Amino acid sequence: MCLAIPAKILKIHDQRAKVDFGGAIREVNISLVDANVGEYVVVHAGFAIQKLNEKEAQETLGLWHEILNFLEDG
């Protein structure tokens, strides 16, 4: 199964960016998108593949949190 998860760009250096997945900070490749610090991207397999607006990102991250909470409680 493949997952693509939204993340907020915190810092950019060349084609790499530190991003926040709602609490988990990771480094990803942003060479496929034209994105800036503070914007949200969809990340798949270590690559930012698409930009999205903050509202969409927050809605998706909220759903992820609900799923994870359900799995922890289940």
Q: pLDDT digit string (tens) for 7-22? A: 999 999 999 999 998 8
Query: Cα(28)–Cα(48) distance, rounded to whole angstroms?
Result: 7
pTM value surpassing 0.75: yes
Domain that holds residue 16: 5-73
The number of distinct structural domains making up the chain is: 1
CATH of the domain at 67: 2.30.30.140
Contact 33, 40 (CB under 8 A): no
pLDDT the model gives residue 61: 84
Q: pLDDT digit string (tens) for 37-62? A: 999 999 999 999 999 999 998 898 88
Burial category of 19 from C-beta neighbours within 10 Å (exposed 0-12, middle 13-18, buried 19 and up): buried
Residue 66 has pLDDT above 70, yes or no: yes
